Structure 1
Amino acid sequence: MPSVSSLAEAAAVLQAASAERGKVRIGSDLDAGGMRAVLEHEAGDLTCTVEAGIRLSALAAALAPLGQRLSLDPPGDPTIGACLADNLSGPLRHRFGAPRDLVLGVTLVLADGTIVNAGGKVVKNVAGYDLGKLVCGSRGRLAFIGRVSLRLHPAPIAAATVVVETTDAASIVAALLGSQLVPSAVDILHPGRVAVLFEGGAAAVAAQVESTKALVGGAEVDASIWDASREQQAVSLGRSWFAPGELGAFLATRAAALVRPAAGIAYLPTPTDVATPTPVLSLEERVRERFDPLEVLS
C-alpha cells in the first residue's frame, strides 16, 4: 500500500481491510508519508497542529522564524507520528517530558476506518477522552495517527553543556537534582561521564554553568556530546527501567549504558529480557480489543 496523503485515503484503506478481514501493519503497509503539512501554528498560545508525516527537522524549520520549538529530540529525524507511536524522546525528556507530555490532541483513523478527534489545540483543555496519550507507545496497534496538536516552547537564546568525569555518577546526579539548578537535560554516559545541558537567557545559563562547576566540578564542553548520547541511544539493543532512588544500585550492575536518571530509563548495548507484568499485558489486550475487535491492525 502506498503512503497516504489524507485522512480520507487512510480511512479508505482501513475500511477495505476491515471489510475483507485483512491485516494492515501501520508503518510498513500504511504510513503518513504524504501528510507533511503544518496545519496551524498559534504562536501566541505556543501550540501547533501538524500532519503526522512531517519530520522533526521540517517542523523545526517551520517554527524557528518565530523563535519556537518542539522540545523533542530523539535520535535521527523521525516523523511526528513515529514519535508518538513509538514513544520516542531524547535528552530533553529530562525537562520537557516524553511525547505524551507534549501532545494536546490527535486525529486518528480507527481500524474500521472511522475518523475520530480527541483532545484540543490549547494547553488547557479537558474535552473528550485523552486518546493522544493513549496512542503514545501504542506502536500502531490501536489506530492510525493522522494529525497531532502539540505544545511548543520558546527556543532558548543560549545553551551550554557541562560534563563531569566521575566514578560515582549517582552522587553527581543526586547533587544536581537536589540543587536549585534547572537543567534541560542530564544524561549519564556510563561509565564515567555525566552530561548536563542548560538553556535559556545568556546570563542565566552562564550562572548555572558556574554553579554546577562549584557544586560537582566538571568542565564546559561543546554540544557534540548530545549527538554522542543520541547515537548511543540509537544503537542500543535493549532498555531497562529503574526507580530513580535506585540509580546507584542499577549502575553497579551494568558495564555500560546510556542513562536518563530523572526518567528512570537506561538504553543498553545488549538485549534485555524484561518481562511485562501479566496485569499490564491483560490491560493492553483489553484496550486493543476495544479499538480493534477484528484484529485488522497487526
Structure 2
Amino acid sequence: MTPIHEPLSEEAAARLVHVAALTKSAVVIRGGGTRSLHATPEGTDVLSARGLNGIVAYNPAEMTMTARAGTPLETVEAALAEKRQMLAFEPNDLRAALGTSGIPTIGGVFATNASGPRRFVAGAARDSLLGVRFVNGRGEVVKAGGRVMKNVTGLDLAKLLAGSHGSLALLTEVTFRLLPVPETAATIVVSNLNDAEAAAAMATAMSMSVEVSGAAHLPESVRGRFVGGALPDGAATVLRLEGLAASVAVRAEKLGAAMARFGAVSQIEAETTRRLWREIRDAAPYADGTPRPLWRVSVAPIAGQQLVAALRLETGVDAFYDWQGGLVWLRMESDPEAALLRRYIKAVGGGHTTLLRARPEVLAATETVQPQSDAVAALSARVKASFDPNALFVSRMVG
C-alpha cells in the first residue's frame, strides 16, 4: 500500500522531504486529489498538502489573500463571497468530467494553473499569483514574492511553480490578487453559425469596445447539454458581458446589433449566464461517466476550428470552443489519436495538448502532455535541477 503523508505544518512537510532526499525516495505531491488519474508507482510516497489548511490573511481593501495550500477552494470562495470579491481567472472543477472525487484546494488550483473562461482577458491563475512559500527538493522552506502587488521580489519564481503540477516543489502557502464580483452579467447568443463563422463572429466581438469577458462556441452536438437545453435551437456562439447593470444593458444592445449580421441574436440574463459559464468552465458536456478520451487543447484562436475540421476528416471527434476558439475541448470516440492530433496541431501553427481522461491502460501508454522542443526541454531540466536536484518529485497529475 502506498504511504500517504499529510503533514500539519510547513516544518513537518520540510522534514518529510528532507528524509526523502537523504533516502532518495520518490515523492508524489497531491492536493485534493481531484485530477489524479495515473496510478502511483510502486515504492513512491504520496505527500498531501491537505493538512496545510486555513486562510492566513485577507485584506479586502487591497484585494489580496494569503492561504495555506491545502485550504479547500470552497473555503476561499466563501470568504471572498462575503466581501463581493472573486478569483479573476475562474478556476475550473473537472471532477465530473474526469470521474474523480476529492476536494479542490487553492494550492492545487495554482499548481495546475487551473483557468476558466475569463482567462483570455483576465489572465491565467499564475497571473494572479503574488507570492508563494514552498518546500524544495532539498527539504528547504523558500519564500518568493510578497503579500501586496507592489512587492515583486521573487515574483517570476512564484510563477514558475504555477502549472508545475507538483514536479518542482511542494507549495505550502499562496498569496494572490482578487477582483470585485460584477454587479450583473448577460450573454449574447448568436445562433446557427458553423465553426468558421463563429470564429469570425467572436473575432469581431473581441475587436469591439464592449469588454467581452467570455467568448465560446457550442456546436449543435453539445448545445443541448448546456443549461438544461435552454439555449435556442442550433449551434450557439455565446458572448459574455459583465459589470454595472446600466453598462451591461448598453453594451449588450451594441454587441447584439453588431452580431445581427452573422445570425439570429438573442440574450440570456444573469442567473442563466452564471450557470452557462460554469458549465463551459467545467467541460460539462463531457461529464458523461465514460472513459472516452478527453483532450484539452490550446491553440491560436483562429486555429481551433481549423484543427477540429481537419480531425473530423479522419476520426470521430466531438468538440466545443472557449477562449474565442483558442481552447478546444475534444472528446474522441475511441482511441486518443495522440500522434494524429499533434500532427495537425503542428500544421495549424502549434499549440499545447493535455490528455485529461482515458482508460487507465491508455493513459499509461500515451504521452499525455505535449512533448517539449529540445530547447524547452533543456531549459526545463535546468529549472528542475535547481528546485529538485535529486529528482524526488514525480508529477502524476493532469489538467
TM-score normalised by L of structure 2: 0.70
Are 2:217 and 1:188 aligned?
yes
Provide the rounded CA distance (Å) in 1 between the counterparts of 2:298 and 2:108.
Answer: 22
- 8 Å Cα contact 1:195-1:225 kept in structure 2: no
Q: 2:178 aligns with which of 127, 152, 158?
A: 152
Shift of 1:121: 1.1
Which one is further off, 208-217 or 271-280?
271-280
Structure 1 stretches of at least 4 aligned residues deviating more than 4 Å after TM superposition: 233-236
Partner of 2:329: 267
Aligned length: 298
- 8 Å Cα contact 2:190-2:259 kept in structure 1: yes
Unaligned 5+ runs, structure 1: none
Provide the rounded CA distance (Å) in 1 between the counterparts of 2:307 and 2:255.
Answer: 24
Partner of 1:291: 387
- The residue identity in structure 2 corresponding to 1:117 is K
- 8 Å Cα contact 2:130-2:152 kept in structure 1: no
Shift of 1:231: 3.7
Report SS of the residue matched to 2:48.
Answer: coil
- The residue identity in structure 2 corresponding to 1:98 is A
- 8 Å Cα contact 1:94-1:186 kept in structure 2: no
Q: 1:209 aligns with which of 241, 252, 255?
A: 252
Shift of 1:156: 1.1
Shift of 1:51: 0.9
Partner of 1:139: 165
Could you list the per-position Cα deviations for residues 226-270 of structure 1 after superposition, in whole angstroms to 9, with x for gaps in the alignment? 233134277571132322343553353355323234583322113
Partner of 1:219: 266
- 8 Å Cα contact 1:94-1:263 kept in structure 2: no
Shift of 1:296: 1.1
Shift of 1:145: 0.5
Could you list the per-position Cα deviations for residues 3-22 of structure 1 after superposition, in whole angstroms to 9, with x for gaps in the alignment? 22221121111011011111
Provide the rounded CA distance (Å) in 1 between the counterparts of 2:12 and 2:216.
Answer: 42
- 8 Å Cα contact 2:202-2:324 kept in structure 1: no
Partner of 1:60: 77
Could you list the per-position Cα deviations for residues 112-161 of structure 1 after superposition, in whole angstroms to 9, with x for gaps in the alignment? 11000001111122313522110111111100011111010011111112
- The residue identity in structure 1 corresponding to 2:150 is K
Could you list the per-position Cα deviations for residues 71-92 of structure 1 after superposition, in whole angstroms to 9, with x for gaps in the alignment? 2323326211111111211112
Report SS of the residue matched to 1:73.
Answer: coil
Partner of 1:250: 307
Provide the rounded CA distance (Å) in 2 between the counterparts of 1:248 and 1:238.
Answer: 15
Could you list the per-position Cα deviations for residues 28-57 of structure 1 after superposition, in whole angstroms to 9, with x for gaps in the alignment? 711211222111111111111111112222
C-alpha spacing 1:66/1:232, structure 2 compared with 1 (3 Å)? closer
Partner of 2:134: 108
Partner of 2:295: 238
Identity of aligned residues (%): 33
Partner of 1:130: 156
Unaligned 5+ runs, structure 2: 34-45, 94-102, 221-234, 288-292, 313-317, 343-370, 395-399
Shift of 1:197: 1.6
C-alpha spacing 1:128/1:226, structure 2 compared with 1 (3 Å)? closer
Partner of 1:51: 68
Partner of 2:352: none
Shift of 1:186: 1.3
Could you list the per-position Cα deviations for residues 142-184 of structure 1 after superposition, in whole angstroms to 9, with x for gaps in the alignment? 0001111101001111111222222211111111011111122
Shift of 1:277: 1.9
C-alpha spacing 1:297/1:49, structure 2 compared with 1 (3 Å)? same
C-alpha spacing 1:285/1:47, structure 2 compared with 1 (3 Å)? same
Q: 1:200 aligns with which of 243, 258, 274?
A: 243
Which one is further off, 18-27 or 224-233?
224-233
Report SS of the residue matched to 1:253.
Answer: helix
- 8 Å Cα contact 1:163-1:194 kept in structure 2: yes
C-alpha spacing 1:36/1:195, structure 2 compared with 1 (3 Å)? farther
- The residue identity in structure 2 corresponding to 1:246 is A
| Two-structure CA RMSD over aligned residues (Å) | 2.1
Partner of 1:17: 20
Could you list the per-position Cα deviations for residues 81-114 of structure 1 after superposition, in whole angstroms to 9, with x for gaps in the alignment? 1111112111121321111111001001111110
Q: 1:78 aligns with which of 88, 104, 113?
A: 104
- 8 Å Cα contact 2:131-2:154 kept in structure 1: no
Report SS of the residue matched to 2:27.
Answer: coil
Are 2:280 and 1:229 aligned?
yes
- 8 Å Cα contact 2:133-2:171 kept in structure 1: yes
- The residue identity in structure 2 corresponding to 1:219 is S
Provide the rounded CA distance (Å) in 2 between the counterparts of 1:112 and 1:146.
Answer: 15
Partner of 1:3: 6
TM-score normalised by L of structure 1: 0.92
Provide the rounded CA distance (Å) in 1 between the counterparts of 2:135 and 2:66.
Answer: 16
Partner of 1:177: 206
